[in-house]
Chain A
């Protein structure tokens, strides 16, 4: 009997511990959110995969990402109810704010819901956000989409748990990317992009 009571106490302590941990993690997250985003430099190895763009054309991803030294990339899905519309609108606004500085900027949005996001769905989405031709919306085979998320360390296993992440390629630095974690504003993104150009 005393063992049972001890076990119960132990269980409760562990449980409360977890609850507090969850809570503090949450507060940390909110804090981070209030500062918009965190920035880090990461090295990613992009897999050699072929995706399909909004015009139903096959796109070799590695070649696409190598085709320009100025690349901004994010992950979205078209039926997302929270962060994707904001991220997409912010992406568009960033380009607008950059004006001619964005002339050579390639923007890439990769769908993490390839079963739903057919090229036609992506085309409608691109139209909704008035995307210009230098903005590629990509979908593909489920395995490839998982592979590219893993390559950018964004894969959560469930698209409903995706995080607001934006990536900029480091010019002239093989495989190096700036990882923006959080809901950065368009001005923030433009600032990050400009700082890369300055280097």
Chain B
């Protein structure tokens, strides 16, 4: 499937120039203000008067545009979508101002379209049997009529699903101006022969972990290219290939971008790498530091960043943020789950949080503060010279009444606590982060275990073994050592998602379209071993939203999971 989809491209930059020339002349003189207003209407549903635009759907249902924004269905790229058996057609200038046949099939200036028009020229899936509406090119007038009255350029009514928008002249012109700017050119990082992807590695990541990620990525890329190596040759031969199929194929090129020095210098390094060779997207990547500089770079340059190996993601803070897709909020998700769990307590909680400053643990502690704003929470920020010991912890717990202790620390910080006695009077409950413990519950001192809970955003330990059979077999068949299952599983999944996304966008190399397509990759969730419930959806930027709270128990000197609760904060 991936191979078939990977085809469908090839027109690259030269074709882009050709396409642009097919846009009406008016598109050249669009002014920025008008486009900004059009964007506001498209994305937020607000008119020039800053009022929600109004519309009618299903014949008689009136509503305002904030309920039905254009972007909601036609997506950020304007390339539309398919959901269930419904097609949402593209609304880019190129799609609208050319005949539907041209957009889907004549884009390479081919002479005959029989094959494709006979079997519907659906850009998303030729085999799906979903028909695409045939129509001539729109003009500004027929397009305005279509948006207002729901009549297409062929005089045919739209599906009742498409709202009829009541737009004033000025707003209509602005919206149309904006549509003309959508997905007009292939994104950077694609040439006639190659499509470039980067993967970021920061220098503090140890060699084993780098190796774990890079071998999976390199192997995936190598196999992808091996499978598609003949497509360019086929272009010269069979009519089918010539017409359509292998227009999409490109050699995948992976560029590891190693970032060194302090994170403040990363943006400059990233810019330098990018200048040397622009990439279409970033895939996977690994860092133990805050992911923010890479996140910001990707937002600024509008580069998709697919599923990096990070436990410390930068959380989107602007409504328009779009380009980074994470597995989860990482340790912050564990913090949110613990906070929600504690909020359910019937008795007042008196919480002590322990962390080291400027770490992901400190960020998680902040998250608990923000979420449980009314709870009594004390922070104990360990200085570089402070070690966590039974005495120091006892002192903290006795200083002020404490019934919950949250350790935002890694397992090796707990070694001095082995003599802790939970039998002492009023021993608090202990909460830990599975991510920081690296899911090694045995690092929790035995004497604490009967009072311990772990926020665990991964598959339950008992589920991981059967769920990881696929990735383990994949690694084994390629003679790749199992170095770090989490990193290898996450990287493998990121590779699959990239493959799936590129398959769906076919020859339409727009970054926004790649992300729009991945939003619909719900069926891929089962390929993850590490995450029990990944969920995709438009605008969803974390695939894993929930987290277990595991209640531990010490049994015959072993640690077992006594109970588990799934929490979606």
Q: A residues bordering B, Cβ < 8 Å?
A: 19, 22-23, 25-26, 29-30, 33, 36, 77, 79-83, 85-86, 89-90, 92-93, 113-116, 118, 128-129, 141-142, 156, 158-163, 183, 185-187
Contact = CB atoms under 8 A, between A and B. Distances in A.
A130 B428 CA distance: 45
B83 A160 contact: yes
25 contacts: A19-B119, A22-B129, A33-B159, A36-B160, A79-B539, A80-B83, A80-B537, A81-B72, A81-B73, A83-B86, A86-B58, A86-B68, A89-B63, A90-B57, A92-B61, A93-B60, A115-B544, A156-B84, A160-B520, A160-B536, A162-B83, A162-B84, A183-B161, A185-B61, A187-B60
The 10 closest A-B pairs by CB, nearest first: A22-B129, A79-B537, A115-B535, A82-B83, A93-B61, A82-B86, A115-B545, A185-B58, A26-B129, A79-B538
Nearest to B62: A93
A77 B72 CA distance: 13
Interface in B119-156: 119, 127-131
Contacts, number: 120
A36 B128 CA distance: 22
B256 interface: no
A147 to B, nearest CB: 15
A129 B64 CA distance: 9
Given A115-B546, A183-B161, A89 B60 contact: no
Given A22-B127, A33-B159, A83-B86, 5 more contacts: A85-B73, A115-B535, A115-B544, A160-B520, A186-B58
Nearest to B80: A81
Interface string B532-569: 01011111100011100000000000000000001011
Interface in B213-270: none
B67 A83 contact: no
Contacts of A115: 533, 535, 544-546, 568
B466 interface: no
A85 B539 CA distance: 15
Contact of A22 (B128, B520, B568): B128
Given A81-B81, A85-B72, A118-B569, A142 B533 contact: yes
B85 interface: yes
Given A25-B129, A81-B538, A89 B73 contact: no
A26 B84 CA distance: 12
Contacts of A113: 535, 537
Contacts of B60: 93, 185-187
B535 A116 contact: yes
Contact of B545 (A25, A36, A116, A185): A116
Contact of A160 (B63, B67, B522, B544): B522
B319 interface: no
Given A79-B538, A83-B83, A118-B568, A23 B129 contact: yes
B83 A79 contact: no
B346 to A, nearest CB: 15
Contacts of B128: 22
Interface of B: 57-63, 66-68, 72-73, 75, 81, 83-86, 88, 119, 127-131, 159-161, 520, 522-523, 533, 535-540, 544-546, 566, 568-569
Contacts of B568: 114-115, 118
A86 B66 contact: no
Contacts of A82: 73, 81, 83-84, 86, 88, 161
Nearest to A24: B129
A156 B523 CA distance: 11
A102 B533 CA distance: 38
A26 B130 contact: yes
**Which of A113, A141, A162 gathers the greatest number of chain B CB atoms within 10 Å?**
A113
A39 B81 CA distance: 28
A185 to B, nearest CB: 5
A22 B73 CA distance: 25
A183 B129 contact: no
A74 to B, nearest CB: 14
Contacts of B75: 81
B524 to A, nearest CB: 10
Nearest to B525: A158
From B66, B129, B130, B538, residue with most partner A Cβ within 10 Å: B129
Nearest to B533: A115
Given A79-B539, A81-B88, A158 B523 contact: yes
B58 A29 contact: no
Contacts of B88: 81-82
A159 B536 CA distance: 9
A116 B129 contact: no
A185 B537 contact: no
B85 A163 contact: yes
Of residues A115, A128, A156, A158, which shows the largest number of chain B Cβ atoms within 10 Å of its Cβ? A115
Nearest to B87: A82
Nearest to B131: A26
Contacts of B131: 26, 30
Nearest to A93: B61
B84 A183 contact: no
B523 A86 contact: no
Contacts of A163: 84-85
B540 A128 contact: no
Contacts of B61: 86, 89-90, 92-93, 185-186
Given A89-B61, A116-B545, A81 B83 contact: yes
Nearest to B57: A86
A46 to B, nearest CB: 23
B32 to A, nearest CB: 28
A90 B67 CA distance: 12
A161 B125 CA distance: 14
A77 B538 CA distance: 11
Contacts of B57: 86, 89-90
Given A22-B129, A186-B61, A85 B160 contact: no
Contacts of A22: 127-129
A43 to B, nearest CB: 25
A79 B537 CA distance: 6
B99 to A, nearest CB: 21
Contacts of B72: 81, 85
A92 B68 CA distance: 14
A83 B73 CA distance: 9
Nearest to B163: A86
A114 B545 CA distance: 10
B57 to A, nearest CB: 6
B537 A77 contact: yes
A35 B60 CA distance: 16
